[in-house]
Amino acid sequence: MPFLKINDEGKFKFFFFFIYNNFLFIDGTNSEVCLALYRKSLKSKEMDHGGTHFDGQYPHVFVTLGASGDLARKKIYPTLWWLYRDNLLPVNTIFYGYARSKTSIEEIKTKCKPYMKVKNNEEERFEKFWTLNHYVTGGYDSRTDFEKLNQELSAFEKGPVANRLFYLALPPSVFEPVTVHIRNSCMAQKGWTRIIIEKPFGRDSASSQKLSDHLASLFTEQQIYRIDHYLGKEMVQNLMTLRFGNRIFNPTWNRDNIASIQICFKEPFGTQGRGGYFDEFGIIRDIMQNHLLQILTLVAMEKPASCHPDDIRNEKVKVLRCIKAIDRKDVVLGQYVGSPDGEGDAKLGYLDDPTVPEGSVTPTYALAALHINNERWDGVPFILKCGKALNERKAEVRVQFKDVPGDIFDGKPKRNELVIRVQPGEALYVKMMVKTPGMAFDMEETELDLTYGHRYANVKLPDAYERLILDVFCGSQMHFVRSDELSEAWRIFTPLLHKIESEKIKPIPYV
């Protein structure tokens, strides 16, 4: 989306590569000026590109199914508020919540407010946001209740055009009946309907394929948005620009120059009382099979024919097809235990969580070495690492280059590394060798550092969910998972997951 081009006269000229994905970085610009540029970009005629179109003046209804749940409270309602606050949504947008709970908008508002970051001068607008919210109580398996919801939505849709978005913030067990009822009772009659589905997209190849087949029987692929919030993160979205927009990196991005690539996700806390949910899926399904594998495809893919969403997703699928199913010998599994010397939660191990089944062997840490069998990456290990209760919070991509051939410095040079830090504190830096200051001809490792907090201090970086939900309004699927992509991802991990579960492989304990 908007990248900003300044011509000889210094006038701004907008080109639309993809909505809301790259940001306009202008020194000394405050966030309000940036937001004004975003709003202007949404209204540009050049917005109609790569499958995107922003219907800014038409009515939209955003329906959150599972409105009383944890995800809605912590992520969806806060995201809708931020987009509304910043005037980035179509002007005629209202919001409906739907769930089994007998609750009210006032109760939902009270539960959501701690997560919504409302400033003192925003209270009036915050109250106005909630006047646009409505709530309907209903069952997930009741066609009558969905027909009642449809009547509520239709009463709002007075004009010739009206679009509907449904966010399934629901447990997978009710995906099938809910989507059937949306199809039979709640499709937009005057515009488009789009369905946003939250992971997990199945537990293995068979269950994922069953869900995909079910959705394909009800909706077109263009109507389905499988959301992986990691694809909305600033540095993940920067991978394409970094690789294909810089001559300095692209020629070295291959097996001749790169020794290994590590993609790492670490959390310094455990399950925090959510062990029952986590134990059902484990760290591989929760993080590695989706978030880390998605990053891998962006790091490893070939240059797409264009920036059209399907051209990009085609290249991601090609990478996955070149990866064999993971072998058990290429995997390390761990489970955290309490530290006798720790304080607070550090004293507690995974099995000390009362919601975790006794004697569970579910891994809370996993490392896997994947190999891409193509001309560019043959022999280069892609090492995926993720875990809970580790020493820090961090997500990063670390590209380690090979040793310098023909070394004249007696083995002193360390390997160059390109590090892309996804969180916390977005950054991009290159580790390199330089001569130390002074008369002696010695060397040291230093960094070329682009830390976003320093370079773009005055620029507002939106939350990943903000970008992705706005993408759905615009109809761009570039950063959503396609069905064939999902199928390939499960093919790679399913044999390993079945082996772990059938053989009850005991993970290595770590403090």
What residues act catalytically? 291
| Residue in 226, 372, 227 with CA at minimum distance from that of residue 299 | 372
Length of the chain: 511
Say how far apart CA 21 and CA 464 lie, in whole Å: 10
Nearest residue to 473 via CA among 45, 47, 26, 17: 47
Q: Rounded to an integer, what distance in angstroms lies between the CA atom of residue 422 and that of residue 398?
A: 11
* Type of residue numbered 509: P
Reduced to 3 states, what is the DSSP secondary structure of residue 41? Answer: helix
Centre a 10 Å sphere on the Cβ of residue 85 and count the other Cβ atoms it contains. 19
- Phi, psi of 51, rounded to the nearest 5 degrees: 85, 5
Q: How many CA atoms lie within 13 A of 22 on its CB side?
A: 19
**CA 196 to CA 467: how far, in whole Å?**
14
SS (H, E, C) 363-400: CCEEEEEEEECCCCCCCCEEEEEEECCCCCCEEEEEEE
Q: For residues 164 and 60, is the Cβ–Cβ distance under 8 A?
A: yes
Would you state the structure tokens that stand for residue 492, as one six-digit string?
């790679």
d(C-alpha 398, C-alpha 56), whole Å = 40
